[in-house]
């Protein structure tokens, strides 16, 4: 056979891959994988596990350094990005991001290394990702195949998320989890993190159609356009954080997804928040982890993080919002004692970081918060708080921190 004919390119989708006439695939970008193990700086440990002996699909589990008595930690189930055709849960970027997330958030994480298209056409990546959540659920009785999950994961506080194509997958899994209970007994999805999501536009997506032959590649496909999905109302997550970047070509699609979830007509009754990072491009937190837009994530304090993952930690993980709603949040000011913040007016605190900023601002304005739930103040600082008893001045604002009242 003429080598020139076999080397003929039949499909070309830069910057992802091209396909030759003989069926071989060449990727424009190849991301190297790195070994799991112990991170000396953070103390986070990771290991690789096989979640399906039939398909060979693996996942990487991350666990923070645990000091003191063992306790159950929230679990973040992560799906990596890469246009469904590049990237890996075992890659350097995923390891760096999840190690940081687990360390600073004091959570566990598992990233599913789903099979890539076009060698494995969609919806295989979706099915592998769904199988990954089912595998996690086998640990709900403490008798699953992975000891780390049995001993340390709180499967009543599971969060799904991903970036780009991984965000699309996370949404799919959350919807599917609401339409079937098969294999998910004992597992509760508490929230969803959608970072710089890939969804379809008005024009046909030729690459997606190539990767998924069963799709039209148009906005009549629920996987590309959640608005047309009749099962959207069943999505299990009660709270969703959608993160977009100002310079991302997918920004408007992420905003459209946010607007879709806001519509009461879709039947989904959860809470959704939109967070935009100005001056940044698609998945900057993965490709440029030293970006100035990625703020330091502190354990639990009022310094609002600038990055979406840090914001997510505080909204959903660092403070267990469910417990905060049942009790209160407590403001502790060095030299002045503790003050209670009633937070029972909201079913969920979608703006926990905003709450922190409000508190910090009010302290700067020489105000201590004493918030009877029945009293409100309709200002830009929120229709749900009332201030009283000025005892603190601007010099004390940096002394203030927010802690979760678990007494």
The verdict on whether 88 is a catalytic residue reads no
pLDDT for 225 beyond 90: yes
SS3 assignment, position 230? coil
* Residue pLDDT, tens place only, 173-206: 999 999 986 789 899 999 999 999 999 988 999 9
Candidate list 46, 100, 164, 215, residue with the active-site label: 164
Candidate list 78, 196, 282, 358, residue with the active-site label: 282
Four-way CATH pick for 45-318: 3.30.413.10, 3.40.50.720, 3.40.50.300, 3.40.50.1820? 3.40.50.1820
Distance CA 126, CA 80 (A): 12
Instruction: For residue 160, report the phi and psi dihedrals to the nearest 5 degrees.
Output: -105, 150
Whether the bond between 194 and the residue before it is cis, its omega within 30 degrees of 0, is: no
The verdict on whether 196 is a catalytic residue reads no
Identify the pLDDT of residue 265.
79
* Residue pLDDT, tens place only, 98-108: 999 999 899 99
How do the domains of the chain map onto residue ranges? Answer: 45-318, 326-404
Identify the pLDDT of residue 309.
39
DSSP label at residue 109: E
* Residue pLDDT, tens place only, 337-381: 444 443 323 333 334 444 444 444 444 432 333 333 333 333 333
Identify the pLDDT of residue 21.
94
The verdict on whether 361 is a catalytic residue reads no
Distance CA 10, CA 317 (A): 47
Candidate list 229, 248, 307, 405, residue with the active-site label: 248
Q: Measure the CA angle with vertex 37, ends 35 and 42; round to 5°.
A: 120
């Amino acid at each position: 056979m003429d080598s020139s004919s076999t080397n003929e390119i039949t499909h070309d989708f830069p910057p992802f891959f091209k396909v030759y006439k003989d069926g071989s695939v060449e990727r424009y970008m190849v991301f190297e994988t790195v070994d799991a193990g112990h991170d000396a700086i953070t103390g986070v440990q990771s290991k690789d596990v096989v979640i399906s002996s039939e398909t060979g699909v693996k996942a990487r589990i991350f666990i923070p350094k645990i000091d003191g008595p063992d306790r159950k930690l929230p679990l973040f189930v992560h799906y990596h990005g890469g246009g469904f055709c590049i990237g890996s849960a075992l890659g350097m970027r995923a390891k760096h991001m999840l190690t940081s997330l687990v360390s600073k958030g004091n959570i566990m994480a598992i990233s599913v290394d789903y099979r890539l298209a076009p060698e494995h056409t969609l919806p295989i990546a979706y099915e592998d990702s769904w199988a990954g959540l089912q595998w996690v659920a086998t640990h709900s009785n403490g008798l699953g195949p992975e000891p780390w999950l049995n001993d340390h994961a709180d499967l009543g506080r599971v969060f799904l998320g991903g970036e780009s194509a991984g965000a699309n997958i996370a949404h799919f899994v959350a919807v599917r989890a609401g339409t079937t209970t098969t294999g998910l007994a004992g597992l509760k999805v508490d929230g969803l993190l959608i970072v710089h999501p890939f969804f379809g536009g008005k024009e046909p997506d030729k690459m997606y159609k190539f990767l998924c032959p069963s799709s039209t590649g148009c906005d009549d496909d629920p996987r590309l356009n959640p608005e047309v999905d009749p099962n959207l109302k069943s999505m299990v997550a009660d709270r969703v954080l959608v993160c977009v970047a100002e310079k991302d070509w997918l920004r408007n699609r992420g905003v459209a997804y946010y607007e879709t979830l806001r519509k009461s007509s879709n039947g989904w009754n959860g809470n959704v928040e939109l967070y935009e990072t100005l001056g940044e491009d698609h998945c900057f937190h993965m490709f440029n982890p030293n970006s100035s837009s990625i703020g330091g994530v502190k354990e639990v304090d009022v310094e609002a993080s600038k990055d979406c993952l840090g914001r997510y930690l505080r909204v959903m993980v660092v403070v267990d919002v469910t417990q905060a709603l049942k009790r209160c949040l407590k403001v502790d000011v060095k030299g002045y004692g503790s003050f209670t913040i009633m937070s029972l007016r909201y079913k969920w605190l979608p703006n926990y970081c905003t709450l922190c900023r409000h508190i910090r601002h009010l302290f700067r304005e020489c105000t201590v918060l004493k918030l009877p739930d029945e009293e409100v103040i309709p200002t830009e600082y929120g229709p749900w708080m009332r201030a009283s008893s000025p005892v603190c001045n601007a010099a004390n604002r940096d002394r203030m921190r927010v802690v979760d009242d678990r007494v």
